[in-house]
Amino acid sequence: MKLGVNLDHIATLRQVRGGVDPSPLKAAEICLALGADYIVMHLRKDRRHIQETDLKKLAKIAREKIHLEMSVTKEMIDFATSLKCGSVCLVPEFPNELTTSGGLKLNKRNLLPITRAIKSLHNAGIKVSLFISPEPSDLRAAKRLEADIVELCTKTYSEAKNEKARKAELERIEMATILAKELDLEVHAGHGLNYKNVEDIARINGMEALNIGHAIIARSVFRGLPQALLDMKLLIEAK
């Protein structure tokens, strides 16, 4: 099981004062040295946390380890293709949302821009992930679009109000993982995963990587980033 550590909220903390601390680059160095498999950064349209300069600095030391989350816009595609990061995850993005609000809608209206984005990214040698709901129709659409990876959205799972709802969503993610493997897609999961809910997702057969941010950064405030990272690695690798 691979772990992608999302460092957006290191940058959130820096942005509230507009200075240079804490440094996402330093955080990335620590995470990679301690066994994070790659670094996730979401360059949002409003630049509320990660900035282009963060990604450019990280690219100088670990270009291939950058998993760039971004919306499907020309500005972002141009930036990613010039950065030549290892992989990109295409996500929906809405103004004023606190965090990504769910998976991409792979409907008729969105298919053309997503198809074009995937082509441009592939031409630049970048692997493409689509953040989607664990729905068979979305998985099949992702395959038709020639995505390399699907990241299954665990928002519904992590926000489940009771055990019955949590189990039902876990089963949906398990079934989606089976289908994704049949379709020969790499499978990731993420959104709202934390130290309490991650183990059941890490146990899913065929699940290959988990992308986790807020929980790790929140724990690092009290326990330090190295310990927060190691605690998470221990939980997901034991499965």
C-alpha distances in Å from residue 214, one per residue of 20, 150, 194: 20, 21, 8
Closest among 154, 216, 155, 224 to 6, alpha carbons compared: 216
Residues 153-182, mask of contacts with ligand PXP (x by CB under 6 A): ------------------------------
Q: What is the rounded CA–CA span in Å between residue 134 and residue 102?
A: 11
Residue choice 192, 209, 232, 236 for contact with ligand PXP (CB under 6 A): 192
Site for ligand PXP in 28-87 (CB under 6 A): 42, 69
Identify whether 9 is a catalytic site residue: no
Identify whether 69 is a catalytic site residue: yes
Q: Which stretch binds ligand PXP (CB under 6 A): 47-55, 120-128, 168-176, 206-214?
A: 206-214
Judge contact between 212 and 190, C-beta under 8 A.
Answer: yes
Q: How far is the CB of 57 from ligand PXP (least distance, A)?
A: 20
Residue 24 engages ligand PXP in binding (rule: CB under 6 A): no
Q: Would you give the distance in Å from CA 136 to the centre of its chain? A: 20
C-alpha distances in Å from residue 83, one per residue of 6, 76, 88, 172, 184: 18, 10, 11, 35, 27
Residue 220 engages ligand PXP in binding (rule: CB under 6 A): no
Residue choice 84, 166, 214, 239 for contact with ligand PXP (CB under 6 A): 214
Residue choice 32, 68, 91, 170 for contact with ligand PXP (CB under 6 A): 91
Closest among 207, 202, 199, 200 to 181, alpha carbons compared: 207
Q: What is the rounded CA–CA span in Å between residue 40 and residue 10?
A: 12
Q: How far is the CB of 154 from ligand PXP (least distance, A)?
A: 8
Identify whether 122 is a catalytic site residue: no
Q: What is the rounded CA–CA span in Å between residue 38 and residue 25?
A: 13
Residues catalogued as catalytic: 42, 69, 191
The residues of the shown chain that bind ligand PXP, judged by CB under 6 A, are 6, 8, 42, 69, 89, 91, 99-100, 131, 151, 190-193, 211-215
